[in-house]
Amino acid sequence: MVGAVLVRDGKIIASGFHPFVGGDHAEIVALKKAGGKAKGATLYINLEPCSHQGRTPPCTQSLIAAGIKEVVAGMKDPNPLVAGKGFSELGRAGIRVRTGILEDECRILNEAFAKFITRRLPFVTLKLAASLDGKIATMTGDARWISGPTSRITVHRMRSRIDAVLVGAGTVIADDPQLTCRIQGGRDPWRIILDAHLRIPLTARLLRQRGSDKNIIVTGHAAPAAKVRALEGLGTTVWRFPVRHGTVPWLPVLKKLAKMGLASVLIEGGATTAAVALKEKVVDKVLLFYAPKILGGDARFMIDSLGVRRVKQSIAVKRMEIEKSGTDVLVSGYLIGKRR
């Protein structure tokens, strides 16, 4: 995600952003808007301009040809095809280059891209909504609504930005969710359902709603062939993987999603899905919405057993931030000790 601003004599003359994969990069959009006014201007951009031929031509050559005098950038491009080469090419052409401006903020903006381009794995975020005492549903399974309307809108905005949302079969059976983006102008993500024993009912709403061709159910080799055919007849893709200890291993699934070009995954599953993902060390970031409610000891925990016997075995969270989300509190942070 890249934005660019062209400034000359203290005034903004043009700006642009990268709208979609394969479209003009942010700096090219800005240059086209500026035309001849770009000569002698300073470019402010959050990511190093590319210097290689990809889906679009190298941006460095366009900047040089336009007569840009200075580039102020937030961070080096993590793409090994660029990784400082763009800055070097600009410098050799006589363009002054300054880097590392608001670098932490720029890295967060493109954290999914950075992981995907360097490790060929999606960036995985675990999102949970819970009461203050860490419960995601009452003793009867009722979970609507624990979080407030502001938090729910935030989640829909997340769905519009990420590539795929992932849940377990238990969530589909219990809640019958749509997993769509329901904000105006939003975009529906891919929907990934982990269902080792193919328990998902054929009447599930997500199988019969808009965009059913963006459903992927991940199951085991022993899944009934007739049900697989029925699901495929509804437009759903079914992947089969070996099942270990009753669950589908995460890493092979994530690698296959990456091969599809999916760079970000939002886990919205229940306590079991959250626990397995944490135990397999595939989670990069956690987003925990806490609502001002208390459900008590007979309610359902937000995360199932992790097998932690001592505090020093706990999963550590770093760079933790806390902010208000309407009446709720959002706690976010990054996990250490992830799978490499």
Q: Which residues are catalytic?
A: 27
With contact defined as beta carbons under 8 Å apart, do 71 and 98 qualify? yes
Q: Which two tokens stand for residue 98?
A: 């300054």
Handedness of CA 340, 169, 261, 28 (dihedral sign): negative
- Please state the φ and ψ torsions of residue 56, each to the nearest 5 degrees: -130, 160
Distance CA(315)–CA(66), nearest Å, equals: 50
With contact defined as beta carbons under 8 Å apart, do 32 and 26 qualify? no
What is the b/e burial string over 150-181, where b = at least 16 CB atoms within 10 angstroms of the residue's CB? Answer: ebbebbeebbbebbbbbbbbbbbeebeeebbb
Q: Report the chain's C-alpha Rg in angstroms.
A: 23
Distance CA(241)–CA(239), nearest Å, equals: 7
The residues with which 330 forms a beta bridge, in sequence order, are 289, 323
The reply to whether omega before 250 is within 30° of 0 (cis) is no
